[in-house]
Amino acid sequence: MDKEQIRQLHHSWEVNGERWTAAVRNGAIESRRVATDKSILRAALALRPRKVLDLGCGEGWLVRALEAQGIHTTGLDGSESLIAAAWSGGSGQFRHVQYADLIACPELAGHDFELIIANFSLLEEQLGPLLKSLGSLLTPLGTLLIQTVHPLSVPLPYSDGWRTEDFHSFGDKHWQAMPWYFRTLSSWLRLLQDHGFVLHNLQEPTHPTDGRPLSLLLSAKYAPKVSSCFPAVY
Ligand SMILES: C[S@@+](CC[C@H](N)C(=O)[O-])C[C@H]1O[C@@H](n2cnc3c(N)ncnc32)[C@H](O)[C@@H]1O
């Protein structure tokens, strides 16, 4: 079941590549325009990183925004059409890589990142192996910043599970529907903790006029426990 959802998920980003690029670049997504773009950028800049990986970078807007601040940023994405759009955007380095290939060979992304950002790009159920490989790409105490949908913006039931985004709110019926995996807040926290990440900041960007929460912004440091085979020093 999971395999078919993932196949459809990847297919949707190939088919939707051009529409998605236009939507992002024209500021057509209200939540991004009014809050979430600024929130992730501000959170990233506050960490003063010198080298960043934008995981699931899409058409590359965040890579360009960080490069404009003099921060060396690599964008990685599994959609060929989005990576082509990203290269045409003017600045930044981009790599066409699926997360499954990154898990098998983390060096495909590069190395020694002080910050890895996943902006609305962790959409699958099984994220443990990916988090493990992200840990190996980070410098000691490097940070993982995840922005994802806020639980209050998603219809009940409040439980982990596959959902479908039909993109109908974009006012165009030609989008390819995308399966994606919703996680509760406790599920996100457990996932991070189980893979060596320690949460150090949690924000909930809201709509500036009606106060609706628009996203969850989780910031976690990579601090895996020292292996028990190391002798204790007293
Ligand atoms: C909602 S878009 C977000 C794009 C970008 N981060 C942004 O803020 O505009 C999700 C992105 O994650 C990428 N993605 C999702 N699952 C992936 C996977 N398994 N391997 C590589 N890329 C993936 C998609 O191709 C898509 O570009």
**Please, what is the end-to-end C-alpha distance for the chain in angstroms?**
51
User: How would you label 65-76 residue by residue, b for 16+ Cβ within 10 Å and e otherwise?
Assistant: bbbeeebebbbb
Q: Give the separation between CA 76 and CA 98, rounded to whole angstroms.
A: 8
List C-alpha distances in Å: 147 to 2, 5, 169, 217, 234: 23, 21, 20, 4, 41
pLDDT in tens, 187-204: 999 999 999 999 999 999
- Look at residue 232 in the predicted model and tell me its pLDDT: 47
Question: What's the pTM value of the predicted model, to 2 decimals?
Answer: 0.95
* pLDDT for 227 beyond 60: no
Q: How far is the CA of 144 from the centre of ligand 1 (A)?
A: 16
Report d(CA 29, CA 36) in Å as an integer: 10
Is it the case that residue 180 has pLDDT exceeding 50?
Answer: yes
58 lines ligand 1 (CB under 6 A): yes
- Is 121 touching ligand 1 by the criterion CB < 6 Å? yes
pLDDT at residue 228 greater than cutoff 60: no
> Which spans in 50-178 are helix H?
61-67, 80-87, 99-104, 128-137
pLDDT at 84 over 90: yes
pLDDT surpasses 80 at 1: no
**Element holding 39 (H helix, E strand):** helix 37-46
Report the pLDDT value the prediction gives residue 90, as an integer from 0 to 100.
86
Our answer on whether the CB atom of 99 is closer than 6 Å to any ligand 1 atom is: yes
At 74, the amino acid letter reads T
The verdict on the CB of residue 167 being under 6 Å from ligand 1 is no
Q: How far apart are CA 99 and CA 101, in angstroms?
A: 5
Distance CA 94, CA 57 (A): 9
Here the tokens at position 71 are: 């921060």
54 vs 1, residue with greater confidence: 54
Q: Which residue has the least CA distance to atom 27 on ligand 1?
A: 58
pLDDT tens digits for range 119-147: 999 999 999 999 999 999 999 999 999 99
Q: What pLDDT, on a 0 to 100 scale, did the predictor assign at position 169? A: 86
Tell me which of 68-72, 85-89, 172-176 is least confident: 172-176
Smallest CA separation from ligand 1 atom 8, residue: 119
Please compute the mean of the pLDDT values over residues 101-119 and round it to a whole number: 98
The full set of domains in the chain, from first to last, is 2-222 (3.40.50.150)
Q: For the chain, what is the mean pLDDT?
A: 94
Give me the residue label for tokens 């060596």: 196
Probe residue for ligand 1, chosen from 3, 13, 175 as the CB with the greatest number of ligand atoms within 8 Å: 13
Q: Confidence class of residue 155 from pLDDT cuts 50, 70 and 90?
A: very high
Q: In degrees, to the nearest 5, what angle opens at C-alpha 189 toward C-alphas 47 and 166?
A: 90
Portion of the chain with pLDDT greater than 70, in percent: 96
Residue 55 to residues 41, 59, 174, Cα–Cα distance (Å):
14, 12, 26
Predicted local confidence at residue 123, as pLDDT: 98
Least reliable range by pLDDT among 80-94, 187-201, 216-230: 216-230
Average pLDDT value for residue range 73-85: 98
Task: Say which residue, 65 or 172, is predicted with more confidence.
Answer: 65
Examine the pLDDT at 159 and tell me if it is beyond 80: yes
Q: Which of 163, 146, 143 is nearest to 154 (CA)?
A: 163
